[in-house]
A = this chain, B = another copy of it.
Amino acid sequence: MTDLKQKILAAVGDDLKAIEQALAENLNPYFDLVSQVAGHILFAGGKRLRPLLMVLGARLCGYSGNHTARFSTIFEYLHAATLLHDDLIDGADMRRGRQVANQLWDNPTAVLTGDFLLARGLSIAADTGLCEVIQTIARITENMSQGEIRQLEKKGDITLGEDDYLDVIRCKTAVLFEGACRTGALIAGGKPATVQALTDYGYHLGLAFQMADDLLDYTQEITSLGKHAGADLREGKLTLPLIHALSRATETDRQSMVAIFENRNFTGAEFASLVEMLKRHGGIAYTEAQAAAHIQKAKTALLPFEDSPTREILMDIADYARVRKT
């Protein structure tokens, strides 16, 4: 474990415990099947980054009540709901080192549990009694579903450009990070400028987080959570490293990369040669630079806040999002 990760975990240990407890408590009164299926995805080693961002965002804005853990579960439920439907859509086998729910149970159960977690998230949002929070959650669900559809439509499309990519990762990742931070500020009764600052932090953090994730697909042999390198590529997902490399490559290399992308059953050697070309044409470096720029913007958004341990953790989380290996 890196020093930075250790530092963050030490600082937020109690928050993570409270979040775990709230995640379980909110599901408890529901039927056996839902609790099992939802639990399968919820309690499989998720980082709880989204709820944590809400809790820390609220604290940064001076919130001192006892409700953040419960409200923060919204963002983990929405995330888990998307994963359940995603796995069915992608035809994936594994998620977080476990067999996916739609195989362990079946498609109907995975669809309905996803629907339930989304609805549960909305219902907890309604419990806040804050119109702006509920509106934020409604917009998140709309954006996320648009992002998923766009990703499905663009699957295997080699002409995807950087703008299309940014649009997809904004919808599928950044809006949830942004919404979690924004909700924290809203629950704390933050002023408009404060709400906007945390919204900006979450947005840029989310973009960088997804770029880092997309880099891992090319740079890790096997992630610690059991996802194989090239898994996204095999599903026909074109991400920034390849998009950028394609735009800069010689015609010969371009054709080689396209051929590997279009052959979903590429060998390990072909994948290695693709990664070599990505590096040579700056795809990796460019994506790293873009992620770093968004991290910088995220941290800059926090500058108006007074220096505090909470601000420091949020800064650390931003740094960590970019260098994480899982």
Q: Interface on A for B, CB 8 Å cutoff?
A: 30-31, 33-34, 85, 88-89, 107-109, 111-113, 115-116, 118-120, 122-123, 125-126, 129-131, 134-135, 137-139, 141-142, 144-146, 148-150, 152-153
Tell me how far the C-beta of A179 lies from the nearest C-beta in chain B, rounded to whole angstroms.
13
Given contacts A126-B138, A139-B123, are A111 and B88 in contact (CB under 8 A)? yes
Closest chain B residue to A131 by CB distance? B131
Given contacts A88-B107, A89-B111, A111-B89, are A119 and B134 in contact (CB under 8 A)? no
Given contacts A88-B108, A122-B122, are A33 and B138 in contact (CB under 8 A)? no
Given contacts A85-B111, A134-B134, are A118 and B116 in contact (CB under 8 A)? no
| Contact call A153/B33, Cβ cutoff below 8 A | yes
Closest chain B residue to A33 by CB distance? B153
Task: Please report the C-alpha to C-alpha distance between residue A19 and residue B40 in the assembled complex, in whole angstroms.
Answer: 41
| Contact call B139/A34, Cβ cutoff below 8 A | no
Which residue of the partner chain, among B89, B115, B150, contacts A148 with CB atoms under 8 Å?
A: B115
Given contacts A112-B152, A119-B145, A145-B116, are A129 and B131 in contact (CB under 8 A)? yes
Tell me how far the C-beta of A58 lies from the nearest C-beta in chain B, rounded to whole angstroms.
20
Q: List 15 interface pairs A-B (beta carbons < 8 Å), by A numbering.
A: A31-B150, A33-B149, A33-B153, A109-B152, A112-B152, A118-B118, A118-B141, A119-B142, A122-B137, A122-B142, A123-B139, A123-B142, A126-B135, A129-B131, A134-B135
Contacts of A149 in B (CB 8 A): 31, 33-34, 112-113, 116
Task: Please report the C-alpha to C-alpha distance between residue A115 and residue B140 in the assembled complex, in whole angstroms.
Answer: 12
Which residue of the partner chain, among B112, B125, B138, contacts A145 with CB atoms under 8 Å?
A: B112
Supply 9 further A-B pairs (C-beta < 8 A) apart from A116-B142, A134-B138. A31-B150, A33-B152, A34-B149, A89-B112, A108-B152, A116-B146, A118-B145, A131-B131, A131-B134
Tell me how far the C-beta of A172 lies from the nearest C-beta in chain B, rounded to whole angstroms.
12
Most buried by B among A85, A108, A146: A108
Task: Please report the C-alpha to C-alpha distance between residue A137 and residue B145 in the assembled complex, in whole angstroms.
Answer: 18
